[in-house]
Structure 1
Amino acid sequence: MTLPNNSNLIIETAKVVVLEQEYAVVECVSKSACGSCGSAEHCGNSSIAKAFPHRVHRLSVKLTEEVQVGEQIDLGLNAKNMLTSALLIYLVPLLCLIVGAGLGKFLFAQQSSNEWGVVLMALLSLGLGFVFVRLFAKRVSRQLQYRPKMLGRHRRVV
């Protein structure tokens, strides 16, 4: 199977750890972008990125061809869906925080100790934003268009 030359896909390599009928449980390792530039040894961000271990993500993927446990496969994820999800995950809590702070400022404007009311409303709204994002993520994770698809076995370029 050849890999599609499609700029609309984000392609990641994953290792097959478990086979379950027509699905495979695969592991992907999150990598930090820090450390790859020429000034990585002098950069504080690079030092922080090296201090934290890589995260391993496990997910289930429908197989399009036969694979063996331990084999690496290429996964494709729609870039537009990924960007939309990231935008919602980061912006919704931030907007809730700002709206909550504004609402708290409006509600507690007449009281002498209005700062605590503003802070409390902002934090409550932030929490509601996180709850919304969590519910959104659960709902979206069930939709096939947001799930990664197996593109084929990983082809090493020599």
Structure 2
Amino acid sequence: MSLLNNSPLIIETAKVVGVNDGYATVECVSKSACGSCGSAEHCGNSAIAKAFPTRTHQLKVKLTDSVELGDQIELGLVAKNMLQSALLVYLLPLIMLIAGAGIGKWLSQQNMAGDLLIALSAFSGLLLGFLSVRLMARYFIHHSRYRPRMLSRQS
């Protein structure tokens, strides 16, 4: 847990929905940031956030304390890892889209082909970016430093 002691954390509360062999299955509710400020009544973004239902996510977390079903626990995730994940998910497909369009442009100049080649290569780059993100996510899911950790049990 030394990694948690030296790094800023994103802390979230989760409800225990299952316990098995030193691990707990916990459920977190995704909340919109909109609606918590003083202008929420008059803001269009807040109205849009209210229109979409909250989503729940289930995670498997290694226990550091004894818990029972229904307990609330605090989870910690290293903020740097969350930022890296967000950059990977959002920027890699965008970069691959631009690279694909650039390759398509270069190929169209070489072969006198039209804009269809540019569009197809841009789409191919985007698809390759999404596939790369999916493969990297499978890699990251098996490394403990990218998993949330139980910090404490709330009373």
Indicate whether the TM-score tops 0.5.
Answer: yes
Q: How does 1:23-34 map to 2 (within 5 A)?
A: 23-34=23-34
State the alpha-carbon separation in 1 of the partners of residues 52 and 6 from structure 2: 33
Deviations 1:24-73 (A, max 9, x none): 00000111111122222222221111111111110100001110001100
Task: Provide the identity percentage.
Answer: 61
TM superposition shift of 1:5: 8.3
* Alignment match, 1:111: 112
* 8 Å Cα contact 2:7-2:78 kept in structure 1: no
The answer to whether the aligner puts 1:18 opposite 2:18 as a matched pair is: yes
Q: Aligned partner of 1:111: which letter?
A: M
Q: Aligned partner of 1:81: which letter?
A: N
SS at match of 1:118: helix
TM superposition shift of 1:99: 0.6
* Alignment match, 1:151: 151
Larger CA deviation: 12-21 vs 41-50? 41-50
Q: How does 1:65-104 map to 2 (within 5 A)?
A: 65-104=65-104
Question: Which runs of 5 or more residues in structure 2 are unaligned?
Answer: none
| Alpha carbons of structure 1 residues 43 and 6: separation in structure 2 relative to 1, 3 Å | farther
* 8 Å Cα contact 2:23-2:63 kept in structure 1: yes
State the alpha-carbon separation in 1 of the partners of residues 73 and 6 from structure 2: 17
Q: Aligned partner of 1:64: which letter?
A: T
TM superposition shift of 1:22: 0.3
Name the Cα RMSD after superposition. 1.7
Q: Aligned partner of 1:13: which letter?
A: T
Larger CA deviation: 144-153 vs 114-123? 114-123
Deviating above 3 A after TM superposition, structure 1's stretches of 4 or more consecutive aligned residues are 4-7
* Alignment match, 1:135: 135
The answer to whether the aligner puts 1:39 opposite 2:47 as a matched pair is: no
TM superposition shift of 1:6: 6.9
SS at match of 2:65: coil
Question: Which runs of 5 or more residues in structure 1 are unaligned?
Answer: none
Larger CA deviation: 37-46 vs 120-129? 37-46
TM superposition shift of 1:111: 3.1
* Alignment match, 2:62: 62
